[in-house]
Chain A
Amino acid sequence: MLELNNCSVIFNEGSTLEKKALDGLSVHIKPGEFVTILGSNGAGKSTFFNVISGKAPLKNGKIILDGQDITSQKPHQRSKIIGRLYQDPSQGTAPHLTVEENLALANSGNRGKLSFAIRKQEREKFRDLLKELDMGLEERMGTPIGLLSGGQRQSIALMMAVLNPPKLMLLDEHTAALDPKTAKKVLELTNKYIRSEKITALMITHNMRDALENGDRLLIFQDGKITHDFSGEEKKRLQLKDLIEYYDV
């Protein structure tokens, strides 16, 4: 599904501030796999995501997604098959557009460019989707999304990704800015949609418990490399206290 071969990213090359953000990293992610990622700050987790989505240029290496070499593709070309959720809920939605307009934006791939983005049909589809969130948002479809809470916005951002199911989903600490109860809810929804739509997903988190309890595989990053890789039974047997030894918190 996703294959990175010997990928390196170097910041401030040639200066005293030179830093290898990714250091010859190679990894292979299987279709439908849900991978959680742990690592201290500066370990290269976000650079890993930026390289996959095309926002950080590679010094060398190769990225193959779904059998296709995407190394030289621009971000907007890749985003047809890659979805991404950020830590800051305001990054994933357009604040002055209403709830239904944001959803319509995600849905626009299914509509002609000059046809109306929201007809009765779309409105009903969105209403049904929002009902699944169980947040009462189906009654607030005309509200500018900037007036909603972070958890509500993040849930809608997730929904927007699902409207156009990506082949690969990048979750960049997408529950870190939410209160524990909302975070749990959003994570439940994440699991539900990833499984039902059979999306391959990578999730960065600083919450070790979340990393253990979710997904089929766990990667630990350090100094631009993957230092540990647990999957299957090995991951299931993993305990919180084991993890602490594997990386500096």
Chain B
Amino acid sequence: MSTAIILRAIQLGLVFAVLSLGEYITVGIMDNPDLTVDGSFVTGGAVCAMMTIAGFPNLGLFAAFIAGILCGCVTAFLQTKMKIQPLLAGILTMTGLYSVNLRIMNGSPNVTLHASGMSDHTILSNDATRLYVLLAIVIALILAMYLFFKTSIGLMLRATGDNEEMVSSSSINVDNMKFLGLGLSNGLVALSGALLVQFQNFADVTGGTGMLVLGLAGIIIGEAILRPKGIGMGLIAAALGAVLYRLLYTFALQLGFAATDMNLVSSVLVAVTISIPYLQKLAKKRKSEHA
């Protein structure tokens, strides 16, 4: 593998680190995996692409974040006010978003930034600074999230994921916490989608497929390697895991894996990693039965 390929993999890994950080809120903190991701990731990309073409690349990133928050709030609304099961609520939003995303992109399934000439005017346009810009974004997000989770409201959000029963009998409004958590999570997911669009200079309406699992893979790899205890290490592990996974991914492509097979690889990896503790327990039990 050439250094150029490795460098590109790290950069792309940092883009997906933002995705993993977003998912860390729902998966790691709220214990409520959210399927909105596959839709909101594209929404972020679509909003950012259209804003960038219109001449506002940086505002586009911010708008993507806000659009993602709105997507998360729709799912939270379905979960809390309509009493729809969390998984189904996410699927409903994700499915609906497919149409919304096409609308945002004026009905075309993909949009390129090159035609507008704006591809040279984004924060990721410059080869020399791209890595540092992405690194700065990821570090700033980790820091901001770490500080947020140390505030009173951050603590309430963590408690809601940890013991909802207790929180529901306190003066904290559980419904509001779900809006907050799902909103922030999808905001970051959408920001990741927006960064990807500026990174590869095009937006694709089908680009969200497999993003939930991809982000999950980053979190799981980070946890396997760093075994984080506190919230700070958890965030660092999620980001680092995302970068590592992208490196592995690139390595697999170099070995001749087809890019289209990679969703299967991600799924198998996540399924196996999650089932390892159970399989180990099973093996131990068998062993003790034979002894």
Contact = CB atoms under 8 A, between A and B. Distances in A.
Interface of A: 53, 55, 75-77, 79-80, 84, 90-97, 101-102, 104-106, 108-109, 111-118
A140 B169 CA distance: 26
Which residue, of B151, B159, B162, B170, has the highest number of chain A Cβ atoms within 10 A?
A: B170
Given A91-B163, A117-B150, A97 B169 contact: no
Contact of B150 (A53, A80, A116): A116
B150 A75 contact: no
Interface in B148-172: 150-156, 158-159, 162-163, 165-172
A50 to B, nearest CB: 10
Contact of A114 (B153, B159, B162, B170): B153
B166 to A, nearest CB: 6
Contacts of B155: 97, 101, 104-105, 108, 117
Interface of B: 147, 150-156, 158-159, 162-163, 165-174
A109 B151 contact: no
A53 B163 CA distance: 18
Given A114-B152, A116-B147, A116-B150, 11 more contacts: A75-B168, A76-B171, A91-B165, A93-B163, A95-B163, A101-B155, A104-B155, A105-B155, A105-B170, A106-B170, A117-B150
B159 A97 contact: yes
A184 B11 CA distance: 60
Nearest to B164: A94
A156 to B, nearest CB: 12
A109 B159 contact: no
A53 B151 contact: no
A93 B166 contact: yes
Which residue, of B150, B159, B169, has the highest number of chain A Cβ atoms within 10 A?
A: B169
Contacts of B162: 94-97
Contact of A91 (B150, B158, B166): B166
A188 to B, nearest CB: 24
Nearest to B152: A108
27 contacts: A53-B169, A75-B168, A75-B169, A76-B170, A76-B174, A79-B170, A80-B171, A92-B166, A94-B159, A94-B163, A94-B167, A95-B163, A101-B155, A102-B159, A104-B155, A105-B155, A105-B156, A105-B159, A105-B170, A109-B171, A113-B152, A114-B151, A115-B152, A116-B147, A116-B151, A117-B151, A117-B154
A117 to B, nearest CB: 5
